[in-house]
Structure 1
Amino acid sequence: MLKRYLPFLSWIPEYNRSFLLKDMIAGITVGVMLIPQGMAYALIAGLPPVYGLYAALVPNLIYAFTGSSRKLAVGPVALDSLIVASSLAAMKLANIDDYISMAIFLALFVGSIQLIMGFMRLGFLSNFLSKPVVSGFTSAAALVIAISQLKHFFGLEISTNNTLKTLQAIFGALSETNFYDLSIGFAAVLVILGLKRLNRKLPAAMVVVILSILGIFFFMVNDTDVHIVGQIPKGLPAFKMPQLDIDVIIKAFPTAMALAFIAFAEAMTIAKAVEDQSNEYHTEPNQELRALGISNIIGSLFQSFPANAGLSRTAVNVNEGAKTGVASLVSVLVVGLTLLFLTPFFYYLPKSVLGAIILVAVYGLVDLKYPKQLWKQRKDEFFLLVVTFLTTLLIGISQGIIFGVLFSLLLLVNRTSKPHIAILGRIKGTDYFKNVNRFSNDIELFDNILVLRFDGQLYFANKDYFKTELYKNIKEKRGALKYIILNAEAINYIDSSALNMLSQVVNDLKTKDIALLIAGVIGPTRDILFSSGLVKKIGKENLFVRTSEAFEYCTNQKEKNSIQDKVSLQSKTKHL
Structure 2
Amino acid sequence: MESELGIPLKRRGGKAGGGWRRLLRRRVPLLRWLPRYDRVSALADLVAGITLGLTLVPQSIAYASLANLPVQYGLYSSFVGTMLYVVLGTVKEVSIGPTSLMALFTLQICRGLPVEFVVLLTFLSGCVVLIMGLLRLGFLVELISPSVTSGFTSATAIIIVAAQLKGLLGLSFTAESVGDNIRLIVTKWDDVRPADAALGAVCCSVLLLLRKLKDVRVRSERLSRVLWLVSISRNALVVLAASSFAYLTHHPHQPPLFKLSGRVEPGLPRLSAPPFSASLDNSTVTFVDMVHTLGSAVIMMPIVMVLANIAIAKAFSAGGRVDATQEMVTLGLCNMAGSLVHAMPTCGAFTRSAVSHSSGVRTPAAGLYSGIITLLALIFLTQYFYFIPKACLSSVLICAVIFMVDLRIVFRLWRTDRQELAVLALTFCVSVARTVELAVLAGALGSLAVLLRQLMRPAVSVCALKTSAGEVVRVRAALGVLYVSAELLARRVARAAHAAAPRPVLLDCQHHAMLDYAAVKMLERMIKKFKTDEQLLIIYNVPEEHLQRYSELEGVDARSLRATSVAAALASVAHDADESVTLLTGTERAHDAHDDHDAHDPLV
- Which band: TM-score by shorter chain? 0.7 to 0.9
Report if aligned partners of 2:264, 2:386 keep a CA contact under 8 Å in 1.
yes
Q: Deviations over 1:32-64 (max 9, x none)?
A: 111110011011112111111111111222222
2:399 aligned with 1:378, yes or no?
no
Match for residue 239 of structure 2 among 190, 203, 209: 209
> What is the distance in 2 between the residues matched to 1:45 and 1:157?
15
Question: Are the equivalent residues in 2 in contact too, given 1:493–1:524 (CA < 8 A)?
Answer: no
Match of residue 83 from structure 2: 61
1:498-509 aligned at under 5 Å gives the runs 498-509=519-530
Give the fraction of aligned pairs with identical amino acids, expressed as a percent.
Answer: 26
Which residue identity lines up with residue 462 of structure 1 in the other structure?
Answer: S
Question: Which position in structure 2 is the counterpart of 1:321?
Answer: 360
Distance in structure 2 (CA, Å) of the matches to 1:158 and 1:558: 86
Moved more, 20-29 or 196-205: 196-205
Q: Please say if residues 130 and 331 of structure 2, whose CA atoms lie closer than 8 Å, have aligned partners that are also in contact.
A: yes
Q: Which moved more, 1:121-130 or 1:300-309?
A: 121-130
Q: How does 1:24-35 map to 2 (within 5 A)?
A: 24-35=46-57
1:466 corresponds to which letter in structure 2? L
Instruction: State whether structure 2 residue 289 is matched by structure 1 residue 247.
Output: yes
Q: Which residue of 1 aligns with 2:95?
A: 73
Shift of 1:420: 2.4
- Report the Cα distance in structure 2 between the residues aligned to 1:306 and 1:403, rounded to whole angstroms: 22
Q: Deviations over 1:112-131 (max 9, x none)?
A: 11111112222223323323
**TM superposition shift of 1:262:** 1.6
Matches within 5 A, 1:179-258: 179-199=194-214, 200-202=228-230, 203-221=233-251, 222-244=254-276, 245-258=287-300
Structure 2 counterpart of 1:456, from 448, 460, 479: 479
TM-score, structure 1 length as denominator?
Answer: 0.87
2:441 paired residue among 402, 419, 434: 402
Measure how far apart 1:24 and its partner are. 0.7
Q: Distance in 1 between matches of 2:548 and 2:288?
A: 49
Determine the structure 2 residue equivalent to 1:177. Answer: 192
Flag the 1:557–1:235 CA change in 2: closer, same or farther, 3 A.
Answer: farther
**Pairwise mapping of residues 492-531 of structure 1 onto structure 2 (< 5 A)?**
492-514=513-535, 516-526=537-547, 529=550
Contact 2:559–2:573 at 8 Å: present in 1 too? Answer: no
Mapped contact 1:516–1:542 kept (Cα < 8 A): no
CA-CA distance at 1:545 after TM superposition: 3.9
User: Secondary structure at 1:330's aligned position in 2?
Assistant: helix
Kindly provide the amino acid, as one letter, of the partner of residue 474 in structure 1: A
**How many aligned positions are there?**
529
The answer to whether the 8 Å contact 2:47/2:359 transfers is yes
Consecutive unaligned residues in structure 2, runs of 5 or more: 1-22, 215-227, 277-286, 580-604
Contact 2:162–2:182 (Cα < 8 Å) also in 1 = yes
Which of residues 320, 326, 349 in structure 2 aligns to 1:310? 349
Instruction: Determine helix, strand or coil for the equivalent of 1:160.
Output: coil
- Paired with 2:555 and 2:72, the residues of 1 have a C-alpha distance of 72
Instruction: Give the SS at the match of 1:451.
Output: strand
- 1:69 partner SS: coil
- For residues 40 and 462 of structure 1, what CA distance do their matches in structure 2 show? 52
Asked if 2 retains the 8 angstrom alpha-carbon contact of 1:230 and 1:347, the reply is yes
Answer yes or no: is the 8 Å Cα contact 1:42–1:49 preserved in 2: yes
Taking a change above 3 Å as real, the CA distance of residues 207 and 163 of structure 1, as seen in their structure-2 partners, is same
Task: Please give the residue correspondences for 1:42-61 in structure 2 after superposition, counting only pairs within 5 Å.
Answer: 42-61=64-83
User: Are residue 419 (structure 1) and residue 451 (structure 2) matched?
Assistant: no
Change (3 A) 1:382 1:241: same
Q: When the two structures are superposed, what TM-score results if normalisation uses the length of structure 2? A: 0.83
SS state of the match for residue 229, structure 2? coil
Distance 2:560 2:411 in 1: 50
Q: Secondary structure at the match of 2:574?
A: helix
Change (3 A) 1:250 1:538: farther
Q: In the alignment, is the contact (CA less than 8 A) between 1:425 and 1:444 conserved in 2?
A: no
> Structure 2 residue aligned with 1:88, among 98, 102, 110?
110
Answer yes or no: is 1:261 the counterpart of 2:315: no
Q: Aligned partners of 1:22, 1:343: CA distance in 2, in Å?
A: 29
Q: Could you tell me which amino acid in structure 2 is paired with residue 69 of structure 1?
A: V
Cα deviation, 1:97-123, whole Å, max 9, x if unaligned, reads: x2x111111111111111111122222
Asked if structure 1 preserves the Cα contact closer than 8 Å seen for 2:458 and 2:478, the reply is: yes
Superposition deviation, residue 557 in structure 1 = 4.5
CA distance 1:447–1:468, shift in 2 (3 Å): farther
Partner of 2:154: 139
- C-alpha deviation, 1:387, in angstroms: 2.2
Alignment of 1:149-164 (within 5 A): 149-164=164-179
CA contact (8 A) 2:64 2:73 kept: yes
1:345 to 357, 362, 384: 384
In the TM superposition, residue 546 of structure 1 has moved relative to its aligned partner by 2.2
Distance 2:263 2:548 in 1: 70
Helix, strand or coil for the counterpart of 2:36?
coil
Q: Is the 8 A contact 2:86 2:368 kept in 1?
A: yes
Give 3-state SS (helix, strand or coil) of 1:38's partner: helix
Structure 1 position 148 matched with structure 2 position 160: no
* 8 Å Cα contact 1:447-1:477 kept in structure 2: no
Aligned to 1:470: 493
Cα separation, partners in 2 of 1:324 and 1:223, compared to 1, 3 Å: farther
Deviation at 1:514, TM superposition (A): 4.2
Q: 2:396 aligns with which of 357, 375, 386?
A: 357
Deviations, residues 471-499 of structure 1 (Å, cap 9, x unaligned): 11011123x14x54322121111122222
User: Which residue, 369, 372, 388 being the options, matches 1:333?
Assistant: 372
Does 2:564 align with 1:546? Answer: yes
**What amino acid does structure 2 have at the position aligned with 1:270?**
I
Partner of 1:574: none
Tell me whether 536-545 or 103-112 shows the greater mean CA deviation: 536-545
User: How many Å apart are 1:541 and its aligned residue?
Assistant: 4.8
Q: Tell me the equivalent position of 2:595.
A: none
2:404 match: secondary structure: coil
Q: Report the alpha carbon displacement of residue 348 of structure 1 after superposing the two structures with TM.
A: 0.9
Indicate conservation of the 8 Å contact 2:560/2:572, yes or no.
Answer: no
CA distance in 1, matches of 2:107, 2:407: 26
The answer on whether the counterparts of 2:268 and 2:378 sit within 8 Å (CA) in structure 1 is yes
Q: How far 1:528 moved relative to its partner?
A: 5.1
How many angstroms apart in 1 are the aligned matches of 2:493 and 2:468?
17
CA contact 2:481–2:519 (8 Å) conserved in 1: yes
Change (3 A) 1:231 1:551: same
CA shift, 1:147, in A, is: 0.9
Give distance in 2, aligned partners of 1:419 and 1:383: 19
Counterpart residue number, 1:41 = 63
User: How far apart are the structure 1 equivalents of 2:537 and 2:303?
Assistant: 47
**1:425/1:25 CA distance change after superposition, 3 Å:** same
Write out per-residue CA displacement over residues 287-310 of structure 1, whole angstroms, 9 at most, x where no aligned residue: 211111111111112211110111
Contact 1:455 1:490 in 2 (8 A): yes
Q: Of 555, 559, 570, which residue of structure 1 is paired with 2:574?
A: 555
Q: Which amino acid is the alignment partner of residue 346 of structure 1?
A: F
Give the Cα separation in 1 of the matches to 2:292 and 2:509. Answer: 49
8 A contact 2:462–2:474 mirrored in 1: yes
Q: Which moved more, 1:384-393 or 1:328-337?
A: 384-393
CA distance in structure 1 between the partners assigned to 2:123 and 2:369 by the alignment: 25
| One-letter amino acid of the counterpart of residue 238, structure 1 | R
Distance 2:83 2:547 in 1: 51
Residue 101 of structure 1 is matched in structure 2 by 116
The answer to whether the 8 A contact 2:274-2:339 is kept is yes
